[in-house]
Chain A
Amino acid sequence: LQLDFWLTPRGLGDPVDIHVPFRSLQPVKAHLEANGVFYSIMIEDVQTLIDDEQTEMLRSNRGLTFSTDTFNYASYHTLDEINSFMDALVAENPNLVSKIEIGRSTEKRPLYVLKFSKGGTNRPAIWIDTGIHSREWVTQASGVWFAKKIVLDHENDEGLSSILDKMDIFLEIVTNPDGFAFTHTTNRLWRKTRSKHSGSICVGVDPNRNWDAGFGGSGASGNPCSETYHGPYANSEPEVKSIVDFVKNHGNIKAFISIHSYSQLLLYPYGYTSTPAPDQKELGKDMWHDLSEKAVAALSSLYGTQYKYGSIITTIYKASGSTVDWTYDQGIKYSFTFELRDTGRYGFLLPATQVIPTAEETWLALKVIMEHTRDNPY
């Protein structure tokens, strides 16, 4: 009969568990019933369980994404998990997505950018980055979601499809990988890079004060131990320098969006000066104000999340050497910074349940900006 006892007979009154091969089922049942022995079925089909377990094990294997369809977007991931997500996304969509290495971090980690393109050569492009400040975990998580969203919608969503017909999208999900790794291993609230500059025991430079726009002015700190330390000189941080080089070499980026958390704000230049940016008036209207208003309205339409908008210096505080001040001064007219959820209750420690809603609503605002860029070539 080839019976396989999982719980062998021990004594009177003790249960016995038997794994019965299919062809022996009838004879075993008949025998038990004929002898008045009570039995119940614990597992209908052992093979199904084994198959399920295999799938589950393959899926939850640390650092290995087998499919971006089974990836858990509603949770926070490690650097390894995000890296393997990116590889899976590229493998699944080789005609749309490619992965570029634009440089290496201080600790020699590769700086990866995903390129979404339907073809052409050096098309006008949109740049989005998340995770430049490593503790702002909802941003990297949203970046992962955006990547998948672009792949899901690139054909059936009219807006996105027409954007990709004319433009490429570049997405850097983990813009500060050294900091990100540090938030997982050592200090969840780490913000800066992990560079060591001679003369100080303190580590790290604020990558959002290291750009060459009003560099070193007030609105950043010269103290290496400060969270807003601008660094020894502009672009001292490889994480920043690699983006600078990429933008200059590409030469055709038309919108640049850098994503932070928290505060629920949509911001535009300048941070280093209160002089309004020259481009602001388009046809007598305040271009940025109007575009921001539309983007924020789109964002709120989904879950009612309230955002404020304005220039960096008037809306939050003076900040020198910040990303979008530099990109704007390079001629990238549509330069924006987002501060995502929330407004302080959880702050950096936003529960993972809010990742997808945050990404979904932010995407609507991003689409408004991208569509405007598409419709207003320059």
Chain B
Amino acid sequence: IPDSGHKYYLQFTTEDYKTGENAGSCLATVLYPKAKSPPVVTIKCTPAKEQKEIQEEDNRLYQKIRHQTKPIIGNNIPDSYGNIEPALEPVWALAVAGSSYIMWEKSTEDVGYFMAQVKSVKQWIRKDDFIEFDYTVLLHKIPTQEIISCHMRLTWLPSHPLKVKYFCASENEGLDNGSGMGSGSAAGILHEKGANF
């Protein structure tokens, strides 16, 4: 759109991350303004499942996590060979949902992300009904090919929106030790504590 920016019209289908089943379709417009500000998005989706069924699945996921007797901890999900322990699948699923929020905020017209791996996860037990996790997730950035390490604090209760707080270290994969290479001292420190190479 001359003097205004680029507007994209999108029609797409979605699929369940776990099963690959069709999960619905969406119609969206995305306007990237000329000035580098966040895009303006309108979106309308038609889910393949009834709201009731979705709620039931959410509850099942929630109960699975709540019924653990010890705080959940894990590393490298999936592992080098692409395996995810069945017991850690719900935790991976939440990571995918939480990371998608991070990726949503960070994506631009030319930069996109995928969640590559959950490097570590630790559950914080709360006195209320919310479940809370502390994650280190690795995001794969396109087109730079960098692997970005993000600390993500995620809180959830079914029927409530996911609450995500995060901090991503801006880093280059080329570092062997944890010394932040010109990415600002705060990021450097976080990098050393959080990521493990």
Residues 97 to 138 of chain B near chain A (Cβ within 8 Å): 110, 114, 116-117, 138
A225 at the interface (CB under 8 A from B): yes
Q: How far is the CA of A256 from the CA of B110 in the complex (A)?
A: 29
Best-surrounded residue of B78, B81, B173, B179 (most CB of chain A within 10 A): B173
If A188-B80, A229-B174 touch, does A317 touch B142 (CB 8 Å cutoff)?
yes
Determine if B144 and A202 form an interchain contact, defined as CB atoms under 8 angstroms apart: no
| A346 / chain B contacts, CB cutoff of 8 Å | 78, 82
- Verify A187–B117 contact, CB threshold 8 A: no
Q: Is the contact region of chain A dominated by helix, strand, or loop, or is it mixed?
A: loop
* Number of B positions contacting A (CB below 8 A): 28
List B contacts of A189 (CB < 8 A). Answer: 116-117, 138, 140, 147, 173
- Interface residue B167 (Cβ < 8 Å from any Cβ of A): no
How does the 8 Å CB contact mask read for A208-247 relative to B, with 1 for contact and 0 for none?
Answer: 0000000000000101111111000000000000000000
- What is the size, in residues, of chain A's interface with B at 8 Å between Cβ atoms? 41
Contacts of A184 in B (CB 8 A): 80
Report the bound CA distance from A70 to B147 in whole Å: 36
Q: Is A76 an interface residue (CB 8 A)?
A: yes
Kindly list chain A residues whose C-beta atoms are within 8 Å of the C-beta of B81.
75-76, 349, 351-352
| A contact residues around B144 at 8 Å (CB) | 221, 226-228
Q: Are A227 and B172 in contact (CB under 8 A)?
A: yes
From A188, A223, A347, contact of B172 by CB (8 A): A223
CA–CA, A133 and B17, complex, Å = 26
B145 touches A206 (CB 8 A): yes
A139 to chain B, nearest CB (A): 14
- Closest chain B residue to A189 by CB distance? B147
B82 / chain A contacts, CB cutoff of 8 Å: 346, 349-354
Q: Can you name 16 A-B pairs with beta carbons within 8 Å?
A: A75-B81, A188-B117, A189-B140, A201-B175, A202-B174, A202-B175, A202-B181, A225-B172, A226-B144, A227-B147, A346-B82, A347-B114, A348-B140, A349-B82, A349-B116, A350-B82
